Amino acid sequence: MGDPHPKLEAHAVTRTFGRGTKAVHALGPVDLKIAPGEFTCVVGPSGCGKSTLLRIAAGLLRPSRGELTIRTAAQRPAAMIFQDYGIYDWKTVQANVRFGLDIQKVPRREANTRATDWLTRMGLADFADAYPAALSGGMRQRVAIARALAVEPEILLMDEPFAALDAQLRTILQDELLALTQTTRTTTLFITHSLEEAIVLGDRVLVMSARPGRIIAERRPPFPRPRSGEIRTTPEFTALKSELWDLLRGEVGTEAAA
């Protein structure tokens, strides 16, 4: 079945911040393999090292020990989407979405066509010439998603991308991302606070311990693809959510007591 090599592979990755008595052991050791096309969600208590793991995956931070490798062919990069969107207020929506393509030196005409295509898919075609300040939070996050996907990344790294949105919008964007990633089959590492989000989107859900974050459990939501947001109302969904919550609750308690 296609490429047998994991797209992302972590071996005994740890990260410590600071030194001596001030050292904070933030993460690990973490071992992780993500297969091509697999959508992996990570949930864990606040401060357990989730963002640290993602920043290491994105190459923004080095592990203190261990190794994390991303296998991408040719020019196709990993793309990262942050909770705070990370879009540029001084660029138009179109220019924001084109940004990664400009960096890849995609010819301007093709870059504009691809940017327009993604803006249309995200329902933002009418806002191509607007500046982000004129957009709602949900629209800004759609711009960030369009920008990340426009480069057709081999790996998508998302750090609580919907955390700043209200519950309704969050559900809508979850469903959009679900439909989108089932079409593109982009390998994805997705960090979230929300168990519901993790179950809806993930081929598997990894649960992290309190700091230093380690992977303490793995579950595969039992919903065949293509799936839709309707799985939220099934008994299997509720059961898995409460099972994950039980796992997580132990860790949240640990963190609060520490």
**195 interacts with ligand ADP by CB under 6 A:** no
Please choose which of Mg ion, ligand ADP, none residue 28 contacts, taking the beta carbon within 5 to 8 angstroms, the exact cut-off set by kind.
Answer: none
Work out how close the CB of 134 gets to ligand ADP at its nearest, in angstroms, rounded to a whole number: 30
Residue 52 interface partner, choices ligand ADP, Mg ion, none, CB cut-off 5-8 Å depending on type: ligand ADP
CA distances from 18 to 25, 63, 91, 97, 254 (A): 9, 13, 36, 36, 22
Candidates 30-38, 42-50, 132-140, 195-203; binding stretch for Mg ion (CB under 5 A): 42-50
Asked whether position 187 contacts Mg ion by CB under 5 A, the answer is no
Identified binder of ligand ADP from the candidate list 6, 29, 37, 47, rule CB under 6 A: 47
**Partner interacting with residue 211 (select from ligand ADP, Mg ion, none; CB below 5-8 Å by kind):** ligand ADP
Tokens read off for 123: 């329902």
How is residue 138 written in tokens?
């949900």
Indicate which of Mg ion, ligand ADP, none lies near residue 17 (CB less than 5 to 8 Å, by partner kind): ligand ADP
- How far apart, in whole angstroms, are the C-alpha atoms of residue 30 and residue 15? 10
Closest CA to 100 of 168, 64, 146: 146
Instruction: List the beta bridge partners of residue 43.
Output: 207
- The span from the first CA to the last CA of the chain, in angstroms, equals 45
* Binding residue (CB under 5 A) for Mg ion from 40, 51, 187, 192: 51
221 is a site residue for ligand ADP (CB under 6 A) = no
181 belongs to the binding site for Mg ion (CB under 5 A): no
214 touches ligand ADP by CB under 6 A? no
CA-to-CA distance for 226 and 179, rounded, in angstroms? 8
Taking each helix axis as running N to C, give the angle between helix 137-150 and helix 93-103, from 0 to 180 degrees, rounded to the nearest 10.
Answer: 20
Place of tokens 């979230």: 192
Looking at beta carbons only, is 18 or 222 nearer to ligand ADP? 18
Out of 28, 30, 39, 49, the only residue in the binding site for ligand ADP (CB under 6 A) is: 49
Contact call for residues 16 and 62 (beta carbons, < 8 A): no
> Is 40 among the residues that bind ligand ADP (CB under 6 A)?
no
**CA distance linking residue 210 with residue 45, whole number of Å:** 6
**83 contributes a contact to ligand ADP by CB under 6 A:** no
Q: Find the helix or strand (DSSP H, E) in which 46 lies.
A: none
Write out the binding residues for ligand ADP, residues 91-120 only, by CB under 6 A.
none
User: Residue 168, exposed/middle/buried by CB under 10 A (0-12, 13-18, 19+)?
Assistant: exposed
Is 17 among the residues that bind ligand ADP (CB under 6 A)?
yes
Tell which one of 114, 142, 170, 211 touches ligand ADP (CB under 6 A): 211
Nearest CA among 108, 109, 136 for reference residue 123: 136
Summarize as ranges the residues that interact with ligand ADP (CB under 6 A).
17-18, 24, 26, 44, 46-52, 211
Summarize as ranges the residues that interact with Mg ion (CB under 5 A).
50-51
